[in-house]
Structure 1
Amino acid sequence: PPGSGKEGNNPEQMFAIGYSACFDGALGAVKQMEKAKFDSTTQIEVDLLQGEGHDYKLAAKIHVIGENTELSADEFQQLVEKAHQICPYSKATRGNINVEVTSEVK
């Protein structure tokens, strides 16, 4: 439990781990469909937000780093957005939590 001092992952971290794996798979599908060439790292941070009383909500930040590609930053972001449209986790959270999607090309 939060604040227990015990080792392990909290629920937000576990959700981020699953979401990252799922999103990375969706990005792989987009990569194949678009015949794009790039390597990528998907990072997802999930935060637990507390409103008044016990009104808890989640928020997620997805950031994808593209490497070894000739794609522009804008082109890469478009592929990341396509992955966000087909990712099952993104579909499940759409309209339920705030999700910010960013990317960069190194």
Structure 2
Amino acid sequence: MRPTSAVFRPLSHRVLTGAGVRYARNVDPASHRVLTGVGVRSLKPNHMHTRGILSLKDHVYFSKAEASGAGRNGTVKSFGDSPLELKMSMPKTAGGKGDGQNPEQLFAMGYSSCFLGALQLAAARANKKELAENAKVTANVFLGHPENPDIDGFGLRVEITVDGCPDDAIIAEAHEFCPYSRALKHGAEVTVTKA
């Protein structure tokens, strides 16, 4: 597949200021310098903010899952129409036994499925439904250490590959519409409470 704008489009940078979040279109990620109307201003990495928050006015569905046991080596179960329970395990390459599923597998499965649905919807809206009927979407989710040495633990990188749909505009539209893509691009509301 040829690279498309959906895969390689750069994210816009936003700079957190005292007055809120504003777009900074000319950001050099290496030096964290912003070209402003009065020249170049330097920013420390912890002042960079590359996404905002997409909030919901309502919901049409919600999913509930519960983790218990030894964290990434425990169990997870979902509730609802078709409950699922899985044994979790750190991958062997990350020092685990690899004898169960891991969150990255589940995330990749959800993202690829959701993106395929968005792709087929985008094709139907463009009156080109046949272009995405036999498409396949692969999500590669990478678990690794952040480049920023001030961030401890792991981070994720995602690569989406679309096979069987040659239309770059439809792929780009699917990337804009897919809720997983939106969550990663725009952010999602996350509330942590104590039960």
TM over 0.5, shorter chain: yes
Counterpart of 2:145?
50
After TM superposition, where is structure 1 displaced by more than 3 Å over at least 4 residues in a row?
none
Instruction: Answer 1 or 2: which has greater strand percent.
Output: 1
Post-superposition offset of 1:10: 1.4
Identify which of 20, 30, 35 aligns with 2:122. 30
In structure 2, the gaps of 5 or more residues are 1-88, 188-195
Secondary structure of 2:135's aligned partner:
strand
Identity of aligned residues (%): 33
Instruction: Answer 1 or 2: which has greater helix percent.
Output: 1
- CA deviations 1:42-82 (Å, max 9, x no partner) are 00000012033624221100000016xxxxx4xx1221111
Counterpart of 1:61?
159
Identify which of 79, 88, 106 aligns with 1:14. 106
Structure 1's 57 and 6: CA in aligned 2 closer, same or farther, altered over 3 A? closer
In structure 1, the gaps of 5 or more residues are 68-72, 97-106
Structure 1's 95 and 58: CA in aligned 2 closer, same or farther, altered over 3 A? farther
Identify which of 83, 96, 115 aligns with 1:4. 96
Query: Which structure is richer in relative contact order (CA contacts within 8 A, separation 6 or more)?
Result: 1
Q: Aligned pairs, how many?
A: 89
The normalised TM-score by structure 1 is 0.74
Which residue type is aligned with residue 137 of structure 2? T
Counterpart of 2:69?
none
Identify which of 144, 159, 172 aligns with 1:81. 172
Mapped partners of 2:135, 2:105: distance in 1: 20
